[in-house]
Protein backbone atom coordinates (compact mmCIF):
# COMPACT_ATOMS: atom_id res chain seq x y z
CA UNK A 1 0.00 0.00 0.00
CA UNK A 2 2.85 2.32 0.78
CA UNK A 3 5.51 2.83 -1.83
CA UNK A 4 8.79 4.12 -0.50
CA UNK A 5 11.58 5.73 -2.51
CA UNK A 6 14.11 3.20 -3.78
CA UNK A 7 17.07 5.41 -2.91
CA UNK A 8 18.26 5.68 0.68
CA UNK A 9 18.32 8.64 3.06
CA UNK A 10 21.24 10.90 3.93
CA UNK A 11 22.04 11.08 7.63
CA UNK A 12 24.56 13.51 9.09
CA UNK A 13 26.18 12.72 12.40
CA UNK A 14 28.25 15.52 13.86
CA UNK A 15 29.42 16.04 17.38
CA UNK A 16 31.80 17.64 19.76
CA UNK A 17 35.30 16.28 20.07
CA UNK A 18 35.49 13.12 22.21
CA UNK A 19 31.71 12.74 22.19
CA UNK A 20 32.25 9.21 20.94
CA UNK A 21 30.45 9.66 17.62
CA UNK A 22 32.90 7.35 15.82
CA UNK A 23 32.02 4.51 18.20
CA UNK A 24 28.31 5.29 17.88
CA UNK A 25 28.56 5.10 14.08
CA UNK A 26 30.49 1.80 14.20
CA UNK A 27 27.83 0.28 16.46
CA UNK A 28 25.01 1.56 14.23
CA UNK A 29 26.66 -0.08 11.21
CA UNK A 30 27.05 -3.35 13.10
CA UNK A 31 23.37 -3.41 14.06
CA UNK A 32 21.82 -2.16 10.79
CA UNK A 33 22.52 -3.86 7.47
CA UNK A 34 20.86 -1.09 5.52
CA UNK A 35 23.28 1.56 6.79
CA UNK A 36 26.59 2.54 5.19
CA UNK A 37 29.08 5.24 6.10
CA UNK A 38 30.81 7.50 3.62
CA UNK A 39 34.60 7.42 3.87
CA UNK A 40 35.89 10.98 3.64
CA UNK A 41 39.02 12.33 1.99
CA UNK A 42 41.39 14.33 4.17
CA UNK A 43 44.75 16.04 3.99
CA UNK A 44 45.49 15.52 7.68
CA UNK A 45 48.17 13.02 8.71
CA UNK A 46 47.18 9.43 9.44
CA UNK A 47 47.06 8.68 13.18
CA UNK A 48 48.41 5.49 14.75
CA UNK A 49 46.07 2.61 14.04
CA UNK A 50 44.18 4.35 11.22
CA UNK A 51 43.86 2.57 7.88
CA UNK A 52 43.88 4.35 4.51
CA UNK A 53 40.60 3.64 2.70
CA UNK A 54 38.90 2.55 5.91
CA UNK A 55 39.08 5.51 8.28
CA UNK A 56 39.76 8.10 5.59
CA UNK A 57 41.33 8.34 2.16
CA UNK A 58 44.53 10.21 3.08
CA UNK A 59 45.65 12.48 0.24
CA UNK A 60 48.08 15.37 -0.36
CA UNK A 61 46.79 18.95 -0.51
CA UNK A 62 47.40 19.31 -4.29
CA UNK A 63 45.43 16.10 -4.95
CA UNK A 64 42.56 17.34 -2.75
CA UNK A 65 42.57 20.73 -4.52
CA UNK A 66 42.46 18.97 -7.92
CA UNK A 67 39.44 17.02 -6.72
CA UNK A 68 37.79 20.30 -5.66
CA UNK A 69 38.51 21.76 -9.12
CA UNK A 70 37.00 18.65 -10.77
CA UNK A 71 33.81 18.96 -8.67
CA UNK A 72 34.35 15.57 -7.03
CA UNK A 73 33.10 16.61 -3.58
CA UNK A 74 29.53 16.74 -2.34
CA UNK A 75 30.88 19.06 0.37
CA UNK A 76 34.27 19.91 1.79
CA UNK A 77 35.67 22.16 4.50
CA UNK A 78 38.81 23.10 6.32
CA UNK A 79 38.02 21.69 9.72
CA UNK A 80 40.99 21.63 12.08
CA UNK A 81 44.56 22.92 11.82
CA UNK A 82 43.78 24.16 8.29
CA UNK A 83 43.36 20.60 6.98
CA UNK A 84 40.82 19.73 4.32
CA UNK A 85 38.07 17.14 4.80
CA UNK A 86 35.60 16.21 2.03
CA UNK A 87 32.80 13.82 1.05
CA UNK A 88 33.05 12.01 -2.28
CA UNK A 89 30.09 12.63 -4.59
CA UNK A 90 30.35 9.32 -6.54
CA UNK A 91 30.78 7.19 -3.41
CA UNK A 92 27.67 8.62 -1.73
CA UNK A 93 25.56 8.59 -4.92
CA UNK A 94 26.35 4.89 -5.52
CA UNK A 95 25.36 3.88 -1.96
CA UNK A 96 22.11 5.91 -2.09
CA UNK A 97 21.22 4.51 -5.54
CA UNK A 98 21.80 0.99 -4.19
CA UNK A 99 19.13 1.76 -1.57
CA UNK A 100 21.39 2.19 1.47
CA UNK A 101 20.90 4.92 4.05
CA UNK A 102 24.20 6.77 4.19
CA UNK A 103 25.83 8.31 7.25
CA UNK A 104 28.10 11.29 6.77
CA UNK A 105 30.24 11.82 9.85
CA UNK A 106 31.13 15.43 9.13
CA UNK A 107 31.52 18.80 10.83
CA UNK A 108 29.01 21.67 11.13
CA UNK A 109 30.27 23.50 8.01
CA UNK A 110 29.82 20.39 5.87
CA UNK A 111 26.43 19.69 7.47
CA UNK A 112 25.25 23.16 6.51
CA UNK A 113 26.34 22.70 2.86
CA UNK A 114 24.55 19.34 2.61
CA UNK A 115 21.39 20.68 4.28
CA UNK A 116 21.18 23.50 1.74
CA UNK A 117 21.53 21.04 -1.17
CA UNK A 118 19.34 18.28 0.29
CA UNK A 119 16.84 19.68 2.84
CA UNK A 120 15.48 16.17 3.54
CA UNK A 121 18.78 15.18 5.22
CA UNK A 122 18.46 13.97 8.82
CA UNK A 123 20.88 15.95 11.00
CA UNK A 124 21.92 14.50 14.36
CA UNK A 125 24.34 16.09 16.81
CA UNK A 126 26.06 13.89 19.41
CA UNK A 127 27.16 15.63 22.60
CA UNK A 128 29.51 14.49 25.33
CA UNK A 129 27.85 14.54 28.79
CA UNK A 130 29.91 17.62 29.75
CA UNK A 131 32.94 19.59 28.63
CA UNK A 132 34.84 18.58 31.77
CA UNK A 133 34.27 14.97 30.70
CA UNK A 134 35.69 15.90 27.26
CA UNK A 135 38.74 17.42 28.98
CA UNK A 136 39.19 14.21 30.96
CA UNK A 137 38.91 12.04 27.83
CA UNK A 138 41.39 14.16 25.82
CA UNK A 139 43.90 14.14 28.67
CA UNK A 140 43.49 10.38 29.09
CA UNK A 141 44.20 9.91 25.37
CA UNK A 142 47.38 11.92 25.88
CA UNK A 143 48.18 12.11 22.17
CA UNK A 144 48.05 15.85 21.53
CA UNK A 145 49.92 19.02 22.41
CA UNK A 146 48.31 21.74 24.55
CA UNK A 147 47.86 23.92 21.41
CA UNK A 148 46.07 21.10 19.62
CA UNK A 149 43.78 20.48 22.59
CA UNK A 150 42.94 24.19 22.81
CA UNK A 151 42.11 24.16 19.07
CA UNK A 152 39.82 21.15 19.65
CA UNK A 153 37.98 22.99 22.45
CA UNK A 154 37.63 26.14 20.35
CA UNK A 155 36.07 24.13 17.51
CA UNK A 156 33.85 22.22 19.97
CA UNK A 157 32.43 25.39 21.57
CA UNK A 158 31.90 26.92 18.10
CA UNK A 159 30.03 23.78 16.99
CA UNK A 160 27.80 23.71 20.07
CA UNK A 161 26.67 27.23 19.14
CA UNK A 162 25.43 25.85 15.82
CA UNK A 163 23.27 23.09 17.29
CA UNK A 164 20.05 24.81 16.19
CA UNK A 165 20.93 23.83 12.60
CA UNK A 166 20.41 20.17 13.53
CA UNK A 167 17.15 18.23 13.85
CA UNK A 168 18.19 16.12 16.86
CA UNK A 169 20.69 16.21 19.69
CA UNK A 170 21.68 13.10 21.63
CA UNK A 171 23.84 13.16 24.77
CA UNK A 172 26.19 10.20 24.71
CA UNK A 173 26.46 9.15 28.34
CA UNK A 174 25.92 5.47 27.57
CA UNK A 175 26.78 3.88 24.20
CA UNK A 176 23.86 1.44 24.13
CA UNK A 177 21.27 4.11 24.97
CA UNK A 178 22.76 6.52 22.45
CA UNK A 179 22.69 3.96 19.64
CA UNK A 180 19.08 3.05 20.51
CA UNK A 181 18.10 6.73 20.48
CA UNK A 182 19.67 7.26 17.05
CA UNK A 183 17.94 4.12 15.76
CA UNK A 184 14.62 5.42 17.12
CA UNK A 185 15.19 8.71 15.29
CA UNK A 186 15.85 6.87 12.03
CA UNK A 187 12.77 4.65 12.44
CA UNK A 188 10.54 7.70 13.06
CA UNK A 189 12.05 9.60 10.15
CA UNK A 190 11.34 6.64 7.83
CA UNK A 191 7.63 6.84 8.82
CA UNK A 192 7.31 10.51 7.95
CA UNK A 193 4.61 11.16 5.38
CA UNK A 194 6.90 13.42 3.35
CA UNK A 195 9.34 10.51 2.86
CA UNK A 196 6.68 8.31 1.27
CA UNK A 197 6.58 8.39 -2.52
CA UNK A 198 3.02 7.14 -2.96
CA UNK A 199 0.11 5.75 -0.96
CA UNK A 200 -2.24 3.57 -2.99
CA UNK A 201 -5.36 1.94 -1.58
CA UNK A 202 -7.92 -0.33 -3.22
CA UNK A 203 -10.81 1.36 -5.04
CA UNK A 204 -13.47 2.50 -2.55
CA UNK A 205 -16.54 1.46 -4.63
CA UNK A 206 -15.10 -2.00 -5.27
CA UNK A 207 -14.40 -2.53 -1.59
CA UNK A 208 -17.96 -1.49 -0.60
CA UNK A 209 -19.47 -3.63 -3.37
CA UNK A 210 -17.46 -6.70 -2.27
CA UNK A 211 -18.64 -6.07 1.26
CA UNK A 212 -22.31 -5.78 0.26
CA UNK A 213 -22.31 -9.05 -1.68
CA UNK A 214 -20.32 -10.93 0.94
CA UNK A 215 -22.53 -13.96 1.78
CA UNK A 216 -20.38 -14.97 4.71
CA UNK A 217 -21.01 -11.72 6.49
CA UNK A 218 -23.28 -12.28 9.45
CA UNK A 219 -25.60 -9.32 9.72
CA UNK A 220 -27.11 -10.31 13.06
CA UNK A 221 -26.74 -7.48 15.55
CA UNK A 222 -24.45 -8.35 18.37
CA UNK A 223 -26.45 -9.43 21.46
CA UNK A 224 -24.94 -8.94 24.80
CA UNK A 225 -26.40 -11.24 27.45
CA UNK A 226 -27.22 -9.73 30.84
> What does the binding site for ligand 5GP look like in residue numbers (CB under 6 A)?
14, 40, 44, 75, 77, 79-80, 85-87, 105-107, 109-110
Cα 12 to Cα 14: distance, rounded to the nearest angstrom: 6
Between 108 and 186, CB nearer to ligand 5GP = 108
Among candidate residues 63, 66, 27, 23, the one with its CA nearest the CA of residue 43: 63
Between 80 and 190, CB nearer to ligand 5GP = 80
Closest approach of Cβ 135 to ligand 5GP, in Å? 16
Q: How many helices (H) and strands (E) does the chain have?
A: 8, 11
Query: Kind and range of the H or E element at 180?
Result: helix 175-190
Between 3 and 158, CB nearer to ligand 5GP = 158
Closest approach of Cβ 43 to ligand 5GP, in Å? 10
Exposed / middle / buried, residue 83 (Cβ in 10 Å: 0-12, 13-18, 19+): middle
Closest approach of Cβ 32 to ligand 5GP, in Å? 20
Between 35 and 191, CB nearer to ligand 5GP = 35
Amino acid sequence: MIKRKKSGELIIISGTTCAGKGTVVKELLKRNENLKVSISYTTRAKRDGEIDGEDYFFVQTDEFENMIANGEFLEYAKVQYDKYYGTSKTQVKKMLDDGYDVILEIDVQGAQQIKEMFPQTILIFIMAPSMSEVKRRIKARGKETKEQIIERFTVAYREINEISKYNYVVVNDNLDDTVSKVEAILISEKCRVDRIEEISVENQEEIIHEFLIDKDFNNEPLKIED
